Structure 1
Amino acid sequence: MVEVSEQRGPRKRATMLDVAAAAGVGLRTVSRVVNADPTVGSHLVSRVQAAIADLDYVPDERAQQLRRGRSGTIGAAVRNLADAHPVLDAVDRAARAEQLALLAVSTDDDEDREREAVLAMCRRRVDGLVIEPIGLRHDYLAAEIDAGMPVVAVDRPAAGIAVDAVISDNASGIGMAYRQLAVHGHHRIGYLGDDERIFTGRERAAAFRACVAAGGGPLDGMVHPGPLSAARITAVLDGLRRAGATALITGNAETTIEVLRQLGPDAGRLAMIGFDDFPLADILRPALTVVAQDSRQIGAVAIDLLVKRTADPARPVQTVTVPTELIPRGSGEIRPEEVG
């Protein structure tokens, strides 16, 4: 005998009318309770909340968004989602604390992709934008900003528009790294960093040149900003060896990791300090000395500025510079005579 089991259809989702009927109140009272209206009496709040719990009622977020004129969502455009992104993680944590959902996209270091992604989020009517600028101009956002869209730039300022920004103290970080190597006896120090079309690449390379000039060291053949590629880094490392460099400062985590990959077991034979900390840097042998950015603070400040800009669109534009920290772990403390 074939056993036939009876299956019930999906349970109908409770509506606000169902809640009103179960609680014995008017529809408007349920709406006021759902929207946390403080003028509703506590006895009515209790009745409505009990009915909501009994019926498993879930408010229609889309309807609430229409009433509020806000989506409860902010957009974030960052360089690369495929890699670990501590600042994006911090932005997400800070956004959640403000009961904001985060919609994130990757710009892949491409100006056209950045514009396309950012404007797509604007069309979806996000309540604000956090961007890690790549393009040389961002005035395509001017109309959105004029219409009330709050925008905060992280890691580097946006160009062509006046928006709030949160950046790290790049010059101080490079200065700490250079002095740490100099204190440990290095005079021929190389720099390998990001493309100077990017604000952080430009700032860090300029800070390195200023340190070398102040310290009287050689600049010729020692400063190498440019796009991240394995072939370029191979060529730079070969050139630095021929130039007699005994130490190296790398301009970001991606560059540092590629350098370590190429050096392999010989990584300990070069004094090295990386700008940006990253997971596992502390378990290398020797462990990697880094200039660490305060990602948690950057994310928290970015969301704070976004919330304040939303509340007061006319407030003065602000750029917040977050301090960096040198974390000595061993690789930056190798002396020239120990370099092979």
Structure 2
Amino acid sequence: MPGQGAEGERVPVRPRRPTMIDVAKEAGVALRTVSRVVNDDATVGEELARRVREAIARLDYQPDERARQLRSGRTGTIGAAVRNIAITHPVLREVEIAARAARLNVVAMSTDDDADRELEAVMSMCRRRMDGIIIEPIAEDHGYLQAEIDSGLAVVAFDRPAAGISVDTVLTDNRGGIVSAFEHLVRQGHRRIGYIGDDERIHTGRERATAFRDCLRGIGEPLDGLVHPGPIEPARIAAALGLLRARGVTAVVTGNALTTVEVVRQFGPDFGGTALVGFDDFPLSDLLRPGLTVVAQGDREIGRTAIELFRSRVADRARPVRTVTVPTTLIVRGSGEVQP
């Protein structure tokens, strides 16, 4: 049954999770035995430990991190009160602002686009019994979250869809953004346009590179040597830029802010000689000479929508899953207007 909130609003009760008591009953052992197995006590007999582990697997029991913290007096975490953790992640900043307005707290962890690190971070949050997770997915399969979702965890994906689970999602109009950048350069008189972007194993990198290839086909230009997706590494980006110059390109579209910064660094004093449009805006981009023309994502809209979807899911866990696509905006500052 729903409970009553502080202001009389009805608050849905999260479904009950299996407890240590349930595991003890399932395994036919004492509660203390379960506790010792969960805490890796090597003195538990092999047969008892096996029965407990099998019961844990059958019930899909997850240890309550808060209870462990109370017993040990330690949390296993370090608080970070830094100047601005989100200065290089504007969507996270907007999530924090929207969450604060809704009287919610955000605990952020970095995944570094590593699937193993993502699993570690997300499951750490689950063990701490957070109400929900807003995730920028990287793994090829997020099925490991299904049991948590079934137990009432609210999950919202942003920037990229989660794989193997059906959750509320906020995406950027990647194709529309690339098309607007490409068409803008064509209007400036460019035909030889190159692309340097993110790794195509990442959803956004794949969508943007695919959209750029379609743009080239649309004006009858060959693809060979003009499209360069890959890891965001200085050497790889420098090599791609060298190949584009050898192909005689007069304009470049970059697939995200980190790639753009590296391309600008590689251009050096010759930055103004080639037209450039970057996907993603970032601080100081307007102070370059010429100022950087960008395809700006709707960071505020993405963050606000993610929190709205989260709150709606908590209020009604049975409602249909939603996917919201936020449009982009072309901001003209000069670098995309360099003539061929």
Match of 1:226 among 230, 239, 252: 230
TM-score by length of 1: 0.75
Give the superposed CA RMSD. Answer: 1.7
Moved more, 272-281 or 210-219: 210-219
What per-residue deviation string (whole Å, max 9, x for no partner) do you get for residues 249-302 of structure 1? 000000000111111111111100000000111110000000000100000000
Q: Distance in 2 between matches of 1:315 and 1:192?
A: 40
Q: Distance in 1 between matches of 2:87 and 2:195?
A: 23
Q: State the shift of 1:82 in Å.
A: 7.8
Q: Distance in 2 between matches of 1:241 and 1:315?
A: 52
Q: Distance in 2 between matches of 1:137 and 1:269?
A: 43
Give the match for residue 124 of structure 2: 120
5+ residue gaps, structure 1 = 1-31, 39-61, 63-80
Q: Equivalent residue of 1:161, what SS? A: coil
TM alignment of 1:1-340, pairs within 5 A: 35=6, 84-336=88-340
Give the match for residue 82 of structure 2: none
Q: State the shift of 1:91 in Å.
A: 0.3
Label 1:83 to 1:219 Cα distance change in 2 as closer, same or farther (>3 A): farther
Q: Equivalent residue of 1:104, what SS? A: coil
- Structure 1: which amino acid aligns with 2:237? I
Aligned 8 A contact 1:188 1:244 in 2: yes
Aligned 8 A contact 1:188 1:218 in 2: no
Label 1:143 to 1:264 Cα distance change in 2 as closer, same or farther (>3 A): same
Aligned 8 A contact 1:286 1:330 in 2: yes
5+ residue gaps, structure 2 = 10-65, 67-84
Q: Equivalent residue of 2:169, what SS? A: strand
Q: Distance in 1 between matches of 2:274 and 2:213?
A: 20
- Structure 2: which amino acid aligns with 1:120? S
Q: Equivalent residue of 1:105, what SS? A: coil
Q: Distance in 2 between matches of 1:257 and 1:118?
A: 30
Give the match for residue 45 of structure 1: none
Aligned 8 A contact 2:141 2:162 in 1: yes
Q: Which has the larger radius of gyration?
A: 1
Q: Distance in 1 between matches of 2:86 and 2:168?
A: 26
State the 4+ residue runs in structure 1 displaced beyond 3 angstroms: 34-38
How many residue pairs match? The answer is 263
TM-score by length of 2: 0.75
Aligned 8 A contact 2:205 2:229 in 1: yes
Aligned 8 A contact 2:86 2:92 in 1: no
Q: Equivalent residue of 1:101, what SS? A: coil
Q: State the shift of 1:218 in Å.
A: 2.4
Q: State the shift of 1:83 in Å.
A: 5.9
Q: Distance in 2 between matches of 1:162 and 1:136?
A: 14
